[in-house]
Amino acid sequence: MKDNIKFEVCLDSVNSAIEAQAGGADRVELCDNLFEGGTTPSAGAIKMAREKLTIGLHVIIRPRGGDFCYSDVEMEVMIQDVITARELGADGVVIGILTPEGLVDVERCKVLVEAAGDLNVTFHRAFDMTRDPFEAMETIIGLGCSRILTSGQEATVYEGMDLLYKLVQKAGNRIIIMPGNGISERNLHKIMEGIGASEYHVYLHEPKASQMTYKPDHIYMGGLLRQPEFSNLYTDSSRMKQIQSIGNIH
């Protein structure tokens, strides 16, 4: 198991980012719309997060939910979002574009990497939708990305441990393999021992009751599949502290 384990927290608000930092997170991945796997947060959220945080701030660049094969207009949006994140002081961006055949879209990813300049670049879980993970890893290394966020091409990291271990070994010091999805206080130690990665990506939200006292129950802001209107999800700093304590015992 590696020394100096780092933890990145996936979250969708500045409030959660503050909580993650208070709990000892090394870095946050700031998103919007986690219900769809995370989309690009607003410029205001990036700006305020940068003002409130002293830890690392990475911003996901994803214009919508769904697949990772984008239109020309969506590509233009992502270029502008990378530029905005850089101008607002983000330390890194999180990207991922695939071809219809399930390969890493080298040309388009290269454009985003170039737009990022000296920012750290993570290739996100679009990696888990590629046809050949080892081929994809070599392509991403060639693009100059710093890390790959992956569940080992399974629904959760726990299920993908075998592949994640192989990826970590194959990557060596060329790129960071960062397991993410389904990591909790209950399984972290076993995951760390089974994979041996140097960084882990965690989601540590807990529901928090709305401040609303007037709660009409016949009006909804979303579709039929929706989250509760009067409960909000925020990162729990106490859970982050527990994660860090587990990470420090090895």
Dihedral of CA atoms 72, 125, 34, 121 in degrees, nearest 10, equals -70
Q: What is the pLDDT of residue 225?
A: 60
CA 2 to CA 105: how far, in whole Å?
32
- Rounded to whole angstroms, how far apart are CA atoms 176 and 26? 15
Per-residue pLDDT tens, the chain, 250 aa: give them. 456 899 999 999 999 999 999 999 999 999 999 989 999 999 999 999 999 999 999 999 999 999 999 999 999 999 999 999 999 999 999 999 999 999 999 999 999 999 999 999 999 999 999 999 999 999 999 999 999 999 999 999 999 999 999 999 999 999 999 999 999 999 999 999 999 999 999 999 888 888 888 888 777 777 656 666 667 778 989 999 999 998 876 5
Give residue 154's pLDDT.
97
Instruction: Check residue 208 and give its pLDDT.
Output: 84
- Per-residue pLDDT, 224: 57
In this prediction, residue 227 carries a pLDDT of 62
Quickly name the fold that domain 6-247 has: TIM Barrel (3.20.20)
Domain ranges of the chain: 6-247
Assess contact for 29 and 61: CB atoms under 8 A.
Answer: no
Query: What per-residue confidence (pLDDT) applies to 178?
Result: 98
Which pLDDT value is given to residue 247? 84
